[in-house]
Chain A
Amino acid sequence: MTPLGLFLPGTSPLHRAPAGLKLLGLVAAGVVSVLLDEPWQVLVALGVVTVLYGVAGISLRVAVAQVRPLLWIALGTAVFHVLVNGPARAFVVVGVLAVLVLLAALVTLSTRTTDLVDAIVAVCRPLRRVGVDPDRVGLLLALGIRCVPVVVGLAQEVRDAQRARGLGASPRAFVVPLIVRSLRHADALGEALVARGAEDPVPDEG
């Protein structure tokens, strides 16, 4: 639904699973990954990840794209470990990295941004006691999602103005007006929030 997001729509069991459950699974996978020590265990984990991508109906091409940015650093790390600790260790380290990145990417690909926002707000509820207001957390996330395209739009305007006045690629002539415009926009946004009662006490609904 957000054209900006990485979410891939689908109807698989993974898509329908609650966001909180998937995040818990991800945390569990992170804990288990510390225990993986043998190459065969990593192979099993990679197999499980492949099956999960299959269940979610996500193509191999998309899956590979998730780890492609890590190609060079993974190669460098593998060389380091082959030289220092032997090839088995190299396989375990790079394999675990790939498993975790692929699993985390799978949660992102199969979960709507709005569902993840709700999950964050839910996680913040117990933090009420230490002074975090979960409703304001939700408000801030919603504002942030809205502000990204606004600032990108402002950046386009500033760039056009810069070109029109014949200023080259001076970072100062671009960033200073961009930020000043963003701050002015924030002032208007803050006033709009107050006008809509954002400062009022929120009813405690547990």
Chain B
Amino acid sequence: MRHGKYPFIIGFLAIPLLLYAVFVISPYAQAFYLSLTDWRGLSNRQDFVGLANYAELFTDTQFWRAMGHNLALLIVVPLFVIAMALLFASATAISRVRGSRFYQVVFFFPHVLPVVIAGILFAFLYNPQAGLLNAFLRVVGLEWLTRAWLGDDAVALPAVMVVMIWSAVGFYYVLFSAAMKSVPRDVYEAATLDGAGRLRTLVSITIPMIWESVQVSYVYLGIAALDGFTLLHTMLPDGGPNRSTEVVAQYLYRTAFDEGRFGYASAIGVTLCLFTLVLAIVVMRFSRREQVEYA
């Protein structure tokens, strides 16, 4: 019965492992090494420079500016997405609003809409002449609010945040709705008997009970906020007005493929990756304590 077990295992694993080793593992491993070189890709010269790239990165103002934009995304986007998703989920799931199935279908769709398409759509929606937003503002008499949304340093990044929130809310709405279904109903009944209002119930019962979903959501949203490449590259290809919206992934791309500084770009990648991992660990740690409080 065991005859031919190893040939079979090797036969099944050979191709996937080869692909994975060549296209995933080796690039990741090389990234760490390349970040310690001054490689510019043109020649075969790859001089080992130790941590010089990281030292340069530390004083690189454009890098920190870009990191600042990522941090702004990291603070604003998850906050709004989670708050709105919780609000909508508790409004439909708990009180069983009619048509909550309909809302799930509608809200979720932006999540499956390709990011590039959402980006182009909203870039045009923000268009100063023909865009829907300015047209709406003119109709309701708020003419003075109209502007070139993506051409204005002050509002370009917030305008992109709106698109990120628009795309993400539905996914977390569905996630939280599913989590809320597993909260026993008698807990809510007891709370009502104690006179807890709707908001009080949400804050004191629902959120603690589904805290695990909330914390995982924060990690996912945080990872997305530390990337943001596709949407920003689509809506504001050159980093926005005066590079006021450039994020780290765009800076990395520019450093590597426009300037050919592959070693330095790898150092940017490693640094951003470390930020991402630290974020995930900190969020999971920090919020585990929170959960104990309510247990």
Q: Do A and B bind each other?
A: no
Interface residues of A (CB under 8 A from B): none
B residues sitting closer than 8 Å to A (CB atoms) are none
